[in-house]
Amino acid sequence: MKAKTAITPRPPRQLILTTPEHLLAFGFGAGLSPFAPGTVGTLVGIVLFLPLSRLDPALYAVAVALLFVFGCWVCGESARLLGVHDYGGIVFDEIVGYLIAAAPLVLFPQLPAAGFGAAMILAFVLFRLFDIVKPWPIRALDRNVHGGFGIMLDDALAGVFAALPLWVVLRYVG
């Protein structure tokens, strides 16, 4: 959960939908959800994951790394324009965090469709768990690293934390 959301007034919907930086940082409007915008933003990550999952693992890693770097800029710029660090509606970080969490699926393309779908759901649940609970060092980074890099970093690390048990499940159980 983003701490500033409860005490910060919601920006006007028309601002978010007309400013390119906000439109992207808010996940094309997903961050405007009045309930659980981070979870809704993560669903956008699933939609983006589907075509990206067809890439070669090395190309997938490059695409996600480029999205992370772009996210540092777009989230930082959106936060600057709003005047609020890591506003709860900024969900580009959740989108990229999910792509990191789901990365092990790119390494196991031989999964049957049902197994692939179940693993995508598991990646979603694990990512949301680590993003919400923020175990150490995620919580420390969330509190101490600012700007666009700080917005992106805690979700990227939550994605890594989620990817590890997913990889174990796919490698040894699936």
Cα angle at 36 between 31 and 39, to 5 degrees? 75
Considering the chain, what is the average pLDDT of its residues?
A: 91
**CA atoms of 69 and 142, how far apart (whole Å):** 17
**CA atoms of 86 and 104, how far apart (whole Å):** 28
* pLDDT class of 4 with cuts at 50, 70, 90: very low
Cis (ω within 30 of 0) for the bond into 9?
A: no
Quote the pLDDT of residue 10: 64
In sequence order, the 6+-apart residues with CB closer than 8 A to the CB of 29 are: 16, 17, 23
Is the pLDDT at 22 greater than 70, yes or no?
A: yes
Q: Where are the beta strands (DSSP E) in the chain?
A: none
* pLDDT class of 48 with cuts at 50, 70, 90: very high
Average pLDDT of span 1-29: 73
Average pLDDT of span 28-41: 94
Is the pLDDT at 6 greater than 60, yes or no?
A: no
* Tens of pLDDT, residues 135-147: 999 999 989 999 9
Is the pLDDT at 104 greater than 90, yes or no?
A: yes
In sequence order, the 6+-apart residues with CB closer than 8 A to the CB of 33 are: 40
**In which region does residue 90 sit, left (phi positive, over 0), alpha (psi from -120 to 50) or beta (all else)?**
beta
Q: Which of 62-76, 110-124, 135-149 has the highest mean pLDDT?
A: 62-76
Quote the pLDDT of residue 11: 65
Domain boundaries, the chain: 37-173
